[in-house]
Chains A and B, each alone.
Chain A
Amino acid sequence: MLETGLIFRALMRNKMGAILIALQIALTMAIMVNAIFMIQDRQQQMKRPSGIDENNTFYLTNTVFAQDHNFQAELQTDLNTLRKTPGIVDAIQINAIPLSGGGWSMSLQHEPGEDKDAIGSALYMVDEHGINTMGLNLIAGENFSQEDIQWRGQGQSTWPPKTIITKAFAAQLFPDDWQTAIGKTFYISQTQPMQIIGIVEALQAPWNGWDGVERSMLVPFQMESSSSYYFIRTEPGKRDKMMPIIEKVLAESNKGRIIRRITTVEDTRKRSYRQHNATNKILTTVVATLTLITSFGIVGLAIFSINRRTKQIGTRRALGATRWQIMRYFMVENFLISTVGVFIGSIGAIGLNMWLVSTFNLTPISFELILFGIVALLIVGQLAVLYPARKAALIAPATATRTI
């Protein structure tokens, strides 16, 4: 286009306004691209499946305070009651809840010994109903049998000889082929052998921010502990109805304990990712307001420059310029400014990302996102200038003949 050079020279005569707009666009782009990147990153984290049947499960804390009690008998009674209740699919006692933030971790190592490398994993103590209650998908090997389940006394340091682990954990132990983990023996607590008898597709650890969140192991233990969780799975759609019933049944069956913190797994997930959600909402608001402010800035400055040039525009019109040509002038002008802006903005976005990567351990940004930012801001610029440009196009040719 021939007039591009003309527009550029006209811009150079009044640089400051254009520079300010370009800088605004650049900063907006740097922030926008990085914010969107962080939002996507968090969304991806939140999307990871926990491996559990989240819609139909809940749990509660059972705290025994009476002094003379028989842990083993009481647990068996409770579990029998729960499992027989209509509407309940299955129930277990467990030491920790996925994504809840609190739990237990242990490491497995290929060889026994103090100075051998070990890989950490979340540890869940369950019985043979564990897989069914949580709704896990056993993809290789077998479940625990009733004979595998041991009682774990308080402070006990020995471990049962069998375990079921997640696919992600198996893949970490056997990077070549996770399936070969079945039947292999590893060492827990540095020296105690433990054989992998099964692999489940997924089961997340209690800590969502941990890089090993997909590594979990099931251990066939029932705990003689004054405080533990009961994890319960209901028939589809019956969870909310069953929760108060179960709470009442348990509380009334034994007065020497407290049943508290009855919570759905869905709520636990929500709570677990509450910060993620909040940050995402704030970032979204920031991006939206920022884009709005920048476009208002474009509108404001364009209107002023048009007002200042009313007479010149009128003259051009009088000399035969069409409305479209006037509009095009301002749109091309904005396009030139925006191009400079997004160019600086791309550098800024990468710079900001590098700083975020080094300060907050984020991952580097993708090229597509920068491209998206460029296109988005060019479009925003064009849309913002549309209204002032239309206003300019409506200036009558007769204006040229007026003095003021």
Chain B
Amino acid sequence: MFNYYLKIAWISILRHWGLSLLMICAIGLGIGAAMTTITVNYLMSADPIPHKSKQLYYVQLDSWDVNDPFDEGLNPPDQLTFTDTTNLLNAQKAFRQNAQAQANGVIEPNDPELLPMSVSGRANTADFFTMFDVPFIYGSGWTHQADVNKEQVIVLNKVTNDKLFGGEDSVGQTIKLDGNVFKIVGVIDQWQPKPRFYDITTGAFNDSEDIFVPFSMIAEQKIGRSGNTNCWKPSGDGFSAFLVSECIWTQFWVELKTQQDKEEYLTFLNAYVEEQKAYGRFLRPMDNRLSNVMQWLENQEVVADDAKMMMAMSFMFLIVCLLNTVGLLLAKFLGKAPEIGLRQALGASRATLFSQYIIESACIGLAGGLLGLVLAYLGLIGVESLYGDYMQGLATLDSTMMILALVLALISSIVSGIYPTWRACNIQPAQQLKSQ
């Protein structure tokens, strides 16, 4: 029976090909627009580290100006002072902890043929690599001992290792970074979390770094720091004064296994701030926060307003396309009134007619969905080329999205088919036959 209905639908679609094409195009455009924006939003709000995003917490402490609160008092500062990061790191109260800041430098390759190259870097502690599941090709991250002893060790990413060592295992070799000699302990594989959740202060979709060095290298002035620095209180002259200042420029992540661990850590943070208050710091009311990865991304509004607005617009667009389809289907089905009357007179039940016309709508929807997929693909290419680096890697259709597109098309076409079909089934056969 189903095959027969398909055949009837096919004949009907072909007979009114102009109208059918119009409907397919309308659904296709609507689905295409909706899928383009859904995909961008979906990828922007993706969980970058799904298996442990609930165990990784970003630490915030309100060390800001009592007269002029950070973010109008809505949120504590988005970074920590060097003093606090160092203290929390030394306390070692979490299962794992990572202190980090953005850095940059210039590598002078050992090979005299190669030109010096400027690299983006991260100064972090040993746990960074284990906490964030960084994949290694050669070697591994450095040890906790290396952090404590302030050893000049370095981890390169694949691209940098390819440039400097032609992709060979460079572990054990040394390189010159900003005039200082660093020993290579590991090379990481392609690794580009989207969003780059571990540091979104300079842009959530930036590339991961070229090199990684111990956090202590910044205080030792073996590498220059970069990234955002925000100060509310003037600091004294020189770098050592800057380090003890109230400027925020470091970030602190902890890994906590259970809810209980989290509560204990929060208690520890509160006790820490209490203690610091004795030194005349933390004059604002206590507002310490632990946000897991997804909470942190949401708090920092990683999904761009533009993307959300576009999605809202494209859904309205889809609705217009569907209204269009409802109207056209209505016209089409009612245009077939004589035929319907005849079939009813010959014994077709309403249920038969209903399934038949719903199948016809679904066929149109599926065709529209396929067209929509092609349009979404083109749309994403367009979005990527229009927005450039900002959307790099955020505009790809995966299988989930493709299935979603077809399901969306199918559901919307069936929904738009219901009313016209219902009207068609309620046609009075006698009247139709009379007029013939």
A227 at the interface (CB under 8 A from B): yes
Q: How far is the CA of A133 from the CA of B308 in the complex (A)?
A: 41
Output the least CB separation between A142 and chain B (Å). 28
B-contact 0/1 string along A274-303, CB 8 Å cutoff: 110111011100100110011011001100
CB pair B26–A293 under 8 Å, yes or no, is yes
Q: A157-B236, A258-B118, A286-B317 are in contact. Are A300 and B19 (CB under 8 A)?
A: yes
A23 at the interface (CB under 8 A from B): yes
CB pair B324–A24 under 8 Å, yes or no, is yes
CB pair A294–B387 under 8 Å, yes or no, is no
CB-defined contacts of A154 to chain B, threshold 8 Å: 239
Q: A24-B324, A227-B224 are in contact. Are A155 and B116 (CB under 8 A)?
A: no
A268 at the interface (CB under 8 A from B): no
CB-defined contacts of B309 to chain A, threshold 8 Å: 38, 356, 359-360
CB pair B67–A65 under 8 Å, yes or no, is no
Q: How far is the CA of A272 from the CA of B374 in the complex (A)?
A: 31
CB pair B237–A156 under 8 Å, yes or no, is yes
* Cβ-defined partner of A17 (8 Å) among B25, B236, B331: B331
A35 at the interface (CB under 8 A from B): yes
B-contact 0/1 string along A300-342, CB 8 Å cutoff: 1100110110000000000000000000000000000000000
Q: Identify which of residues 268-321 in chain B touch chain A, using a CB-to-CB cut-off of 8 Å.
A: 304-306, 308-310, 313-314, 316-317, 319-321
CB-defined contacts of B237 to chain A, threshold 8 Å: 153, 155-158
User: Which applies to chain B's interface (DSSP): helix, strand, loop or mixed?
Assistant: helix
B33 at the interface (CB under 8 A from A): yes
Q: Identify which of residues 316-335 in chain B touch chain A, using a CB-to-CB cut-off of 8 Å.
A: 316-317, 319-321, 323-324, 326-328, 330-332, 334-335
Interface size on A, residues (CB 8 A): 58
CB pair B320–A290 under 8 Å, yes or no, is yes
CB-defined contacts of A31 to chain B, threshold 8 Å: 313, 316-317, 320
CB pair A300–B328 under 8 Å, yes or no, is yes
Q: How far is the CA of A138 from the CA of B7 in the complex (A)?
A: 79
A-contact 0/1 string along B399-436, CB 8 Å cutoff: 00000000000000000000100010000000000001
B238 at the interface (CB under 8 A from A): yes
B169 at the interface (CB under 8 A from A): no
B135 at the interface (CB under 8 A from A): no
Q: How far is the CA of A281 from the CA of B179 in the complex (A)?
A: 47
Q: Identify which of residues 108-126 in chain B touch chain A, using a CB-to-CB cut-off of 8 Å.
A: 108, 115-118
CB pair B316–A155 under 8 Å, yes or no, is no
B390 at the interface (CB under 8 A from A): yes
* Cβ-defined partner of A258 (8 Å) among B116, B238, B313: B116
Q: A16-B330, A31-B317, A293-B321 are in contact. Are A360 and B305 (CB under 8 A)?
A: yes
B388 at the interface (CB under 8 A from A): yes
Interface size on B, residues (CB 8 A): 59
Q: How far is the CA of A283 from the CA of B316 in the complex (A)?
A: 13
B-contact 0/1 string along A15-36, CB 8 Å cutoff: 0110011011001101100010
CB-defined contacts of A67 to chain B, threshold 8 Å: 179
A404 at the interface (CB under 8 A from B): yes
CB pair A297–B26 under 8 Å, yes or no, is yes
Q: How far is the CA of A153 from the CA of B236 in the complex (A)?
A: 13
* Cβ-defined partner of A35 (8 Å) among B234, B236, B313, B382: B313
Q: Identify which of residues 82-137 in chain A touch chain B, using a CB-to-CB cut-off of 8 Å.
A: 114-115
A66 at the interface (CB under 8 A from B): yes
B83 at the interface (CB under 8 A from A): no
- Closest chain A residue to B238 by CB distance? A155
Q: How far is the CA of A307 from the CA of B331 in the complex (A)?
A: 10
- Closest chain A residue to B423 by CB distance? A16
Q: How far is the CA of A282 from the CA of B419 in the complex (A)?
A: 33
- Closest chain A residue to B239 by CB distance? A155
B140 at the interface (CB under 8 A from A): no
CB-defined contacts of B118 to chain A, threshold 8 Å: 63, 258, 260
Interface residues of A (CB under 8 A from B): 16-17, 20-21, 23-24, 27-28, 30-31, 35, 38, 63, 65-67, 114-115, 153-158, 189-191, 226-227, 258, 260, 271, 274-275, 277-279, 281-283, 286, 289-290, 293-294, 296-297, 300-301, 304-305, 307-308, 352, 356, 359-360, 404
Q: Which 9 pairs, one residue from A and one from B, show the smallest C-beta to C-beta distance?
A: A278-B386, A304-B331, A65-B106, A20-B327, A297-B324, A67-B179, A115-B67, A189-B234, A278-B387
A-B contact pairs, 22 of them (CB 8 A): A16-B330, A17-B330, A27-B323, A30-B316, A31-B313, A31-B317, A65-B108, A114-B67, A153-B237, A154-B239, A157-B237, A157-B241, A158-B237, A258-B115, A275-B304, A278-B387, A283-B313, A286-B313, A289-B29, A297-B328, A300-B22, A304-B335
Interface residues of B (CB under 8 A from A): 19, 22, 25-26, 29, 33, 65, 67, 105-106, 108, 115-118, 178-179, 224, 233-239, 241-242, 304-306, 308-310, 313-314, 316-317, 319-321, 323-324, 326-328, 330-332, 334-335, 382-383, 386-388, 390, 419, 423, 436
